[in-house]
Amino acid sequence: MNNIFNYEAEASVLGMILVDGTLFKELVLKENHFHDTRHRQILIAMQQVHTQGAGIDLVTVTTALGEGIAKVGGTRYLLEMSESVASTLAFSHHQRLVLEAFRNREARKLALAFAEQPIAAEIGKFIRQLQHLQDERSSEKTTFDHLLEITDEMCNPTDGLSGFQTNFAALDDMTGGMQKGELIIVAARPSVGKTAFALNLAGNHAKNGGSSLIFSLEMTAKSLLQRMISAQGWINSQKWRNMLFAKEDYERAIQAIGEISNWQLHMHDKLRTVTDISVAIRKIKDLQPNDRHLVIIDYLQLLHPVSKRERRDLEVGDMTRELKQLAVELNIPIVLLSQLSRGVESRENKRPFMSDLRESGNIEQDADMIAFLYRDDYYRKDQQDAAPMEIIIGKQRNGPTGTVRLSFQKEFGRFVEENV
């Protein structure tokens, strides 16, 4: 690679599209931006597939190339490009690298042409041509675009919140709702109520007309739906184990199922890497570009790294960094559940601190907000009355820290305001 040729970036852009065909709609590059003739031919084939309304992948692009497949290095070269992609999150950045190399090539041509005939009358034309090259831009917003957006949001506020409403008034007052472009960590010890809290967030968001995308690495989609039915229908979740329901349970369940069936819920229980999860999110975002998407991932420590590192904390850092970049790129909030270390158990005061996050350094750095869940009765088994769930905001990049208390009705997996 040098400043006028960037074969690696060209191959990376095409490889990412082969991995995730929906990225083609985000492509701002044209055929002439690619220097390698093989890459130009591959792009033409992708354009043909897209025009035909088919999905772009290794098979469809190979078919579109036909006999010309040998001229681009065969299916082996296409496979190498796709297999070299560790993550699709750098798509926009690699497009900019390709565009930068193109500009440098064109500027070099213009400079050489002018050097052959350095006539004063041609200086103005030469400068205009260079300015035209500089004006070639990606889809990135300008400062003016952002200022217009801020003005519009100030003049036309929605629900008095800048983010997605959680339906917990005290929590919304402290956070302004779940903010677009932010990575939100919800952390607790096992069985405190992380998944139940996340499902309440997803259910409330869907009730408000939003789209909730749930990626579970621990439970099946069926089990999660049973939990949501229990919370929505006030049905003791233990009854799913022996299926001994009372008559009113059936009535409540049928009503809850009817309500949930109208929600925009997307549940996945087979995906294990950030790359696979990001592909699924992009597809839904592409199909429903105007919907208000909320992503929930349960949970961080079960995610598999795409690239192995010498230490687990570095692998965790790679994954949280990619999820933060994805949240910013797609302008959506991502709620990532996380386990706490056993260090909490050794202290007299069991309320979590930042240092209790497992592989904490990178998590704390990448997260925009970190919320810890704490229940006093989790540690005091002899306590008769259920203690409130404390939502401890330990970090908020653009807001205050503090504690919000909710009533946790554990048998239903339901969170409500304390005075309800």
Retrieve residue 281's tokens.
């999110």
Which listed residue (80, 122, 153, 218) is catalytic? 218
Tally DSSP H helices, then E strands, for the chain: 16, 9
Sign of CA dihedral 200, 203, 204, 210: positive
Task: Let me know: does 283 contact 276? Beta carbons within 8 Å.
Answer: no
| Residue of 201, 197, 178 whose CA lies nearest to 187 | 197
DSSP code string of 206-274: HHTT-EEEEEESSS-HHHHHHHHHHHHHT--TTHHHH----HHHHHHHHHHHHHHTTSEEEEESS--BH
DSSP code string of 339-356: EBPGGGGGSSS-S--GGG
Q: What helix, strand, coil percent values describe the chain, rounded to 5?
A: 55, 15, 30
Q: Which residues, including other chains, have CB under 8 Å from residue 252's CB and lie 6 or more apart?
A: 233, 234, 235
Q: Which amino acid is at 258?
A: G
Retrieve residue 142's tokens.
């300008």
Task: Let me know: does 268 contact 217? Beta carbons within 8 Å.
Answer: no
Is the preceding omega at residue 77 within 30 degrees of 0, hence cis? no
Q: Which residues, including other chains, have CB under 8 Å from residue 205's CB and lie 6 or more apart?
A: 164, 165, 166, 178, 211, 212, 292, 294
Judged by DSSP in three states, 185 sits in: strand
- Residues in a beta bridge with 390: 374, 405
218 flagged as catalytic = yes
Catalytic positions are 218
